[in-house]
Amino acid sequence: MEQFFAPCPRGLEAALADELARLGAAGIAPVDGGAGFEGPLELACAVNLESRLASRALWRVGGGTYRDERELNALARAIPWPKHFRADRTIRVDVAATRSPLKSLEFATLTVKDAVCDRFRDELGKRPSVDKRAPDVRVHAYLAGREATFYLDTSGEPLFKRGWRRDTEEAPLRENLAAGLIALSGWRPGTAFLDPMCGSGTIAIEAASIAADRAPGLARTFGFQKLAWFDGPTWQRLKQRARDRVKPAPDSPVVFASDRLAAAVAKARANAALAQVDAFVAIEQADALTRPAPAPAGVIVANPPYGIRLEDKARVAAMYPKLGDALKARYAGWTAWLFSGDTDLPKKIGLKAERRIPLWNGAIECRLYGYRIVSGKLEA
């Protein structure tokens, strides 16, 4: 059994643990910011292909205690790196630390990089080159106090990059956090789903991908394909099973999305097509404050705007009471989940949240507020 660690957006650790269990992982141990788990190497392929919530899948290759840079170098050098990847692969080394006795994280990174290259030179007489932008292999070291753990990244690019985006602009909400909001909402395919403030469509596209049962990693490559244990035929069989599982286009979609801006609607539709789920989601131009419910009951998941500048805060704060009125007037029988990075704004909505779930969007502390709307008013 190999050991792995999957980081995720903070607040999604329990949901990630449930997902890993469904994928067949053993020894699942959630911690702040991720979950450790165990399984065969093939499990790393499955997690990369199927996980909607993980940010990466890291394979533990060694570790131990250290007191200084010299001992850190010795720990890293003791790992048989040439068994794991070829010398002609390019590498990048990243080091993260909490309460480490080392004074410089930059020097610790250089120390680990030198140890990896020296091990190659000792065994093979040649060493891998460094490529910080697009490496073949990513080495991660985590220093917790005097304990060092070394990982090889089986993902490559982070897993929230689903592989379908053509622009380089990062979405305001990363895809794995969007999938996490959906998981926390309890929505399941077969029930209507709506994002009435969809922007570029990230939340709705994730819901449509779930409705289609389309594995989130089908359109991309992964870091494990550059590692020595990679088995091409096994990987192709795993991908084919995922392709065979994708549902045919439905007669009518159960995922709905809208935005008041025509440009946002056009971008969301284009993104849904790139993600190959456009048949599963209906995206239209409509104002969230006036649009009718697309079904008698369902689940709303939305990331309403929250102002950063003072004038934006005032404008957005004035919108929240109107949003609360719209929910009460048009969405009886629905549940609504609103994600906000400003804890003051939801107080103005005029509804009492049944649940308040702490989450992090990058460095921004946020909350997911859950509302159950019955007979035109909220029930706590």
- Confirm if 8 and 176 have CB atoms less than 8 A apart: yes
Structure tokens at 117: 């290259």
Name, in order, each residue with C-beta under 8 angstroms of 327's C-beta and a sequence gap of 6 or more.
Answer: 300, 334, 336, 351, 371, 373
Strand partners, 372: 335
Q: Which residues of the chain fall below pLDDT 50?
A: 377-380
All structural domains of the chain with their residue ranges: 2-153, 175-211+247-378
Q: Does domain 175-211+247-378 have CATH number 3.40.50.150?
A: yes
Q: Using DSSP, state whether 28 is helix, strand or coil.
A: strand
- pLDDT given for residue 156 in this prediction: 98
- pLDDT given for residue 343 in this prediction: 79
Question: What's the DSSP call for residue 130?
Answer: B
The whole-angstrom separation of Cα 316 and Cα 2 is: 49
The CATH number fitting domain 2-153, selected from 3.40.630.30, 3.30.2130.30, 3.30.70.1450, 3.30.300.30:
3.30.2130.30
Quick one: which of 169, 180, 168 has its CA closest to 206? Answer: 180
- pLDDT given for residue 377 in this prediction: 47
* C-alpha torsion sign, points 83, 225, 22, 94: positive
Distances from the Cα of 270 to the Cα of 160, 181, 202, 263, 267, angstroms: 18, 22, 12, 11, 5
For 94, the enclosing helix (H) or strand (E) is strand 91-98
- pLDDT given for residue 310 in this prediction: 54
Question: At which residue do the structure tokens 């990630």 appear?
Answer: 16
- pLDDT given for residue 58 in this prediction: 98
The whole-angstrom separation of Cα 144 and Cα 171 is: 31
For 122, the enclosing helix (H) or strand (E) is helix 105-124
The whole-angstrom separation of Cα 376 and Cα 380 is: 13
Please state the three-class secondary structure of 275-342 as a single string: CCCHHHEEEEECCCCCCCCCCCCEEEEECCCCCCCHHHHHHHHHHHHHHHHHHHHHCCCEEEEEEECC
Question: At which residue do the structure tokens 């995720």 appear?
Answer: 8
Q: Is 336 left (phi over 0), alpha (psi -120 to 50) or beta?
A: beta
The whole-angstrom separation of Cα 371 and Cα 335 is: 6
- pLDDT given for residue 68 in this prediction: 97
Q: How many CB atoms lie within 10 A of CB 22?
A: 9
Question: At which residue do the structure tokens 């590498």 appear?
Answer: 91
